[in-house]
Structure 1
Amino acid sequence: MKIAAVIGSTRKDSYNLKLAKFIKERYQDRFHLDILEIGHLPFYNQDIEMAAPAEVTEFKNRVAEADAVLWVTPEYNGTISGALKNAIDWLSRVDQVMIGKPSWIVGASMGALGTVKAQSHLRDILFAPGLSSPLLPANEVLIGSIHEKVDENGYLTDEGTISFLDGTVDNVVPWLERQAVVRN
């Protein structure tokens, strides 16, 4: 199974990018994770959506080719980042590559509550008509105090968090696989 991971942070040393890399490495025997960074995407503009720039077309194609999408979101001011919203806007227009494609959401922040507000907003957005992406309820991964759960290289080392992530993967991956079969 191929999963596109859309990273909601554009920061070079993003904890969420590092989390995606951890997931890619740890679960490589369960799925292929294609990590997509979004900082290079131009602002969505309806005037150019029918002849989108090459970087938008490539981004949309990589999402379209995936069986599912893993959204790895930070929390900025209680919601998702502007960069993530922009990427979603591109995905929701013209060929609408997200319709029916299953999603899974994870996120990490230095705050105690992880990315609880951002993930709530992201779920609402994913249910919008131009996206209509199903999610498996009760399988959120909200990693708070991430800076205390990684080593000096940003690699996740907190055993409780890793164990929780393992359990979530055990729940989500079979569901994503079933969704992919239904879509094809």
Structure 2
Amino acid sequence: MKVAAIVGSIRKESYNLKLAKFIQKRYQDRFELEILTLRDLPFYDQDIENDPPAAVKEFKGKVAAADAVLWVVPEYNATVPGVMVNAIDWMSRVDRVLNGKPSWIVGASMGLLGTVKAQGHLRDILFAQGVGSPLLPGNEVYVGVVHEKIDAEGNLTHEPTVKFLDSVVDNFINWYNQQAKIAVNK
């Protein structure tokens, strides 16, 4: 399975980028994870949506080619970061590359609640008309106090969090396979 990881932070030392890299490394025998950057995406502009810049075409092409999407969402001002919403705006127009694409969400922050508010808002967005990305139900991954749970090399070191993430990965793979069987039988 090919999974596109969309990290909602463009900061070089982002905890969410580190979390995505940890997932990429830890589960490399379970799926191929490509981490996509949002740094080069211009602001969504309906005037050019039918012939977007190369960075948009490349980004959308990678998402379209993936079997699933992993959203790695930080929380900015109690919601989804603007760069992530901008990416969704591009993906929800013209060829709508997210429509029907299975997805799951993780997120990390230095606060106690992780990214609970941002993830709630992202869920609403993913169900919006034009986006329509089915979401793994009941497997919320909120990594709170992440700065105490990740080491200098980017390894998640908090064993209960790692075990929970292991179970969510298992659940996602099983759910993805069930979704694929349903699609084949239609």
TM over 0.5: yes
Q: 1:182, CA displacement in angstroms? A: 4.2
Q: 1:177, CA displacement in angstroms? A: 2.6
Q: Is the partner of 1:169 in helix, strand or coil?
A: helix
State TM-score, norm by structure 1: 0.97
Is the 8 Å Cα contact of residues 3 and 31 (structure 2) preserved in structure 1? yes
Q: Is the partner of 2:95 in helix, strand or coil?
A: coil
| Amino acid of the structure 2 residue aligned with 1:130 | G
State TM-score, norm by structure 2: 0.96
Post-superposition, which runs of at least 4 consecutive aligned residues in structure 1 deviate over 6 A? none
Is the 8 Å Cα contact of residues 100 and 133 (structure 2) preserved in structure 1? yes
1:40 aligns to 2:30 (yes or no): no
Which residue is equivalent to 1:9? 9
- Cα RMSD of the aligned pairs, angstroms, is 1.0
Q: What is the CA–CA distance in structure 1 between the aligned matches of 2:119 and 2:89, rounded to whole Å? A: 17
Q: What is the CA–CA distance in structure 2 between the aligned matches of 1:41 and 1:182, rounded to whole Å? A: 34
Identity %: 66
1:129 aligns to 2:132 (yes or no): no
Q: 1:179, CA displacement in angstroms? A: 2.3
User: Where do 5+ consecutive residues of structure 2 fail to align?
Assistant: none
Which residue is equivalent to 1:80? 80
Q: What is the CA–CA distance in structure 1 between the aligned matches of 2:59 and 2:179, rounded to whole Å? A: 22
Residues 43-80 of structure 1: CA distance to partner in whole angstroms, max 9, x if unpaired? Answer: 00001101100000000000000111000000000001
Is the 8 Å Cα contact of residues 4 and 70 (structure 1) preserved in structure 2? yes
Is the 8 Å Cα contact of residues 67 and 180 (structure 1) preserved in structure 2? no
| Amino acid of the structure 2 residue aligned with 1:69 | V
Q: 1:148, CA displacement in angstroms? A: 0.3
Q: 1:37, CA displacement in angstroms? A: 0.9
Q: Is the partner of 1:99 in helix, strand or coil?
A: coil
1:56 aligns to 2:60 (yes or no): no
Q: 1:96 to 1:43 in 2, by over 3 A?
A: same
Q: What is the CA–CA distance in structure 2 between the aligned matches of 1:183 and 1:50, rounded to whole Å? A: 29
User: Where do 5+ consecutive residues of structure 1 fail to align?
Assistant: none
Residues 130-149 of structure 1: CA distance to partner in whole angstroms, max 9, x if unpaired? Answer: 11111121111100000000
Is the 8 Å Cα contact of residues 68 and 180 (structure 1) preserved in structure 2? no
Which residue is equivalent to 1:18? 18
Q: What is the CA–CA distance in structure 2 between the aligned matches of 1:176 and 1:33, rounded to whole Å? A: 15
How many corresponding residue pairs?
184
